[in-house]
Amino acid sequence: MAPHAESPPSNGLSSSAYGNGNGNNHPQQDLFQVDSPNVSYTDGEIRSKYTYRTTEVRKDAGSGKYSVSPKETAYEFKVDRKVGKTGVMLVGWGGNNGSTITAGILANRRGLSWETREGRREANYYGSVVMSSTIKLGNDAATGEEVNIPLHDLLPMVHPNDLVIGGWDISGMDIAAAMDRAAVLEPTLKMLVRKEMDEMKPLPSIYYPDFIAANQTDRADNLIPGDRACMAHVEQIRKDVR
């Protein structure tokens, strides 16, 4: 779990990108190590060799017989053990999904809990494929039973709590107000994350009316000039991503 983040970080990020400022500046601890001549470890990376085997089948047009030939393709993989800082830029950040995802990551990052009509709830990543799934590692040498591990421990990968969040929206409404408009989260949870989300402002967005629902027109007050596709729009988005 990443450290608490009471306010947006003072790390030079714009007001449209927020994270805990930590990233992962050291290699993650390995839950397991592969003992194989095809896998090697250094402080900075994991290298592996893999041979993909398949069978190629050809049919002789004259005789109708099949010719079967084994085929092998050798691959080499390299995985950095140090997970770098990772940003996520959401298109429509101020929508129901964008504001809810942002609040969920903040709640998990800070280990929040809150009261609901059904009782106390705690932040979790249930429903996340990466954070909630397991994968079979193999079979226990002594018992023969399956050994399963969390998917996120299979290889070094970014933790959602460390994501730097930003994005675009045709509405200039801050993400806390967008969260209220979405009416998805419990009021008690919204109170806990409002201070951070109130400071989050989406970047101006491209707006092509033909591709956006007509009921969104009144919200469109945060736009990159122009209503037709052009290279200027492409360059602006590239600039935003950088």
- Domain ranges, ordered by start, for the chain: 39-80, 83-114+155-241
Q: In the prediction, which pLDDT does 17 show? A: 52
d(CA 160, CA 86): 9
Note the pTM of the prediction, 2 decimals.
0.77
Enumerate residues 6+ apart whose C-beta is below 8 A from 152. 130, 131, 159
Q: In the prediction, which pLDDT does 18 show? A: 54
d(CA 109, CA 22): 12
Tens of pLDDT, residues 36-82: 999 999 999 999 999 999 999 999 999 999 999 999 999 999 999 99
Enumerate residues 6+ apart whose C-beta is below 8 A from 237. 168, 206
Q: In the prediction, which pLDDT does 7 show? A: 39
Q: Does residue 166 contact residue 90 with C-beta atoms inside 8 Å?
A: yes
Q: In the prediction, which pLDDT does 242 show? A: 86
Q: Where are the alpha helices (DSSP H) in the chain?
A: 96-109, 129-132, 175-182, 187-198, 231-241
Q: In the prediction, which pLDDT does 12 show? A: 33
Q: In the prediction, which pLDDT does 59 show? A: 95
126-127-128-134 Cα dihedral, nearest 10 degrees: 80
Q: Which residue has the tokens 């988005």?
A: 237
d(CA 130, CA 156): 12
d(CA 165, CA 237): 16
- Which of 173, 171, 167 has its CA nearest to residue 198? 173
C-alpha distances (whole Å) from 92 to each of 12, 82, 102, 173 are 23, 31, 12, 11
Residues of the chain with pLDDT below 70 are 1-28
Q: Does residue 161 contact residue 105 with C-beta atoms inside 8 Å?
A: yes
φ and ψ at 142, to 5 degrees? -90, -40
Q: In the prediction, which pLDDT does 28 show? A: 61
What is the CATH code of the structural domain delimited by 83-114+155-241? 3.40.50.720
